[in-house]
Amino acid sequence: MPRIAWTALPKGVQEHLLDRVRIRAIDAKDLTALLAWVTTNPEVPDGPWCKDFGTFKLVGHGRTPSAFLEKNQPCFGERI
């Protein structure tokens, strides 16, 4: 299973995710939860996936995260 390549994300993906953090109003507590998960260097499925943090969700495909969703938005793919 792949792992997210956070340091090698394309610039467009980085900008998109940062925009979504601002739009979704993800606060410091939420970002701390995301950082704690990222530091474990988790494996992710090859296909679509979703990680639910309770107050927001991170979705992606393989090694690439693609969006932050609000807690009430549905996500598709394997839940991790």
Q: What are phi and psi of 42, to 5 degrees?
A: -70, 150
Q: Order of strands, edge to edge, in the sheet holding 64-70?
A: 64-70, 56-61, 48-52, 78-79
Mean pLDDT across 11-22: 84
> What's the confidence (pLDDT) of residue 65?
92
Q: What would the pLDDT profile of 37-67 be if each residue is shown by its tens digit?
A: 989 999 999 999 999 998 889 999 999 998 8
Q: What pLDDT is stored for residue 68 in this prediction?
A: 87
Predicted local distance difference test score (pLDDT) of residue 6? 83
pLDDT greater at residue 42 or residue 27: 42
Indicate the average pLDDT of the chain.
Answer: 88
Residue 39 to residues 4, 42, 65, 67, 80: CA-CA distances in angstroms? Answer: 11, 8, 15, 19, 15
Residue 61 · residue 49 · CB < 8 Å:
yes
